[in-house]
Amino acid sequence: MLREVLLFTLLLAACGDDSIATTDDGSGSSGNSSTTTTTGPTPTTGDTTTTTTTTSTGSDSDASSSAGDTTTTGTTTTSTSETTTQGVDTSSSSSTTTTTGTTAEETTTTTTTGETTTTTTTGETTDTTGDTGEVVGPPVPAGLCTMGVLTSFVEPMAQAEELHIIGVYQATGNALTVDVARTDVPLTLVLSSYEPVAFTLNLAPGVLLEHVILNGYNTHTVQGQGAATVTDVSGQFNFYAACAYEWPEDDGGCNTPGLVAGAEAATGLSLTTFAACYEGSSFSLD
């Protein structure tokens, strides 16, 4: 009977449905240990199905930390900053101010068409002491132009004697009036035109007009000059220039520099003012 029981026990052991095995690498090291546990039935056919649990310490923890560092490195903030500042030029501005220094000269230009006066002043003007001892301010030439614009020049330095030039290519109706109100300083007045003009001078009391010069391609006449000397170089082909009606020069066949040079050479004076336009009806000198 005992033999039968033992035999039956052996048969049960050989044909058991479950098997459990535990393997230990036997290292016993807490710094580097690995435990593998396999559970489940062992089929008689097919592949073995296993479930593995791995626990690592020590150097494996360092590797995990390294992986975390990699994640942080992957976040780039510098690229966003570079994109924001790209294309911004802090050295440029929408407006530019250039300072080249301070000069004592002042230039005032006013250009209009029609029945208005255009005056160009170059330099810082100084006052003149007249023959009566009174201080005379800078001259102010003006004109009423019916064609073209008035251009003018004023010498900034005061002069003991003054040379003034008034020029047109033609006068409205071949007649032109000049009102002179500049007093207490000797004046020489040059009247110039290409077409023939009858000039009429209206002299205010105290005006010291000493010399009148008629210049131009055609012959002119003048009245109202008082005791002033009249020099006529118009219509005789010995004019200083055939015409001059734009400052500082024009490209219409006239010659502003030639007229100025001729008048200065004939009188020995330097130019004080110049006022001119293509066609005018009246001028004034204050």
pLDDT per position as a tens digit, 105-126: 444 444 444 444 454 544 555 5
Task: Please report the pLDDT score of residue 251 as a whole number.
Answer: 78
Average pLDDT over residues 171-199: 99
Size of the chain, expressed as the number of residues it contains: 286
**Total domain count, the chain:** 1
Average pLDDT over residues 231-259: 95
Burial bucket for residue 165 (CB in 10 Å: 0-12, 13-18, 19+)? buried
Distances (CA, A) of 194 to 98, 128, 252: 44, 33, 12
Alpha helices in the chain (DSSP H): 2-14, 59-73, 78-85, 256-267
In-domain check, residue 33: no
Question: Residue 60 above 90 pLDDT?
Answer: no
In-domain check, residue 165: yes
* Average pLDDT over all residues of the chain: 72
pTM over 0.75: no
In-domain check, residue 26: no
CA distance 117 to 151: 9
Task: Please report the pLDDT score of residue 252 as a whole number.
Answer: 83
In-domain check, residue 51: no
* Exposure of 140 in the CB half-sphere (CA atoms within 13 A): 7
Per-residue tokens: 172: 């409205």
Task: Please report the pLDDT score of residue 250 as a whole number.
Answer: 85
Task: Please report the pLDDT score of residue 9 as a whole number.
Answer: 62
In-domain check, residue 65: no
Average pLDDT over residues 45-71: 38
Task: Please report the pLDDT score of residue 217 as a whole number.
Answer: 98
- CA geometry: angle 261, 263, 268, nearest 5 deg: 95
In-domain check, residue 112: no
Task: Please report the pLDDT score of residue 53 as a whole number.
Answer: 39
pLDDT digits (tens, 9 = 90+) for 5-27: 566 666 665 555 444 333 344 44
In-domain check, residue 64: no
pLDDT digits (tens, 9 = 90+) for 68-96: 343 333 333 333 333 333 333 333 333 33
Question: Residue 3 above 70 pLDDT?
Answer: no
pLDDT digits (tens, 9 = 90+) for 132-156: 556 789 999 999 999 999 999 999 9
Average pLDDT over residues 36-63: 39
- Domain with 148 in it: 134-285
Band (pLDDT 50/70/90 cuts) for residue 97 is very low
In-domain check, residue 172: yes
